Amino acid sequence: MERCIRYSVEKARSLKALRDNELKYRNIFERSKDAIFLADADLRFFTVNMATCNLLGYSI
């Protein structure tokens, strides 16, 4: 039982850290003045930030 509780607590901590990091990097991505985008090997965009839209003349 103790092992199960320890595992659950550690899992909860890991998930919180993951959420915190995702939020941190999402904010950096969205607020950056530099153009940042994610694309596949065929250069199809998955996601872009506002600076990329402004540079390329697109709107979100």
What pLDDT was estimated at residue 1? 86
Rounded Cα distance, 31 and 59, in Å: 16
Contact of 29 with 46, CB cutoff 8 Å: no
> Consecutive sets of 10 residues in the chain, 60 residues long: mean pLDDT of each?
91 97 96 95 93 89
Q: What is the largest CA-CA distance in the chain?
A: 58
For residue 12, CA distances in Å to 7, 22, 37, 44 come to 9, 15, 31, 35
Q: Is the pTM of this model over 0.85?
A: no
State residue 23's pLDDT score: 97
pLDDT at 58: 86
Rounded to whole angstroms, how far apart are CA atoms 60 and 30? Answer: 12
Digit-coded pLDDT (tens) for 27-43? 999 999 999 999 999 99
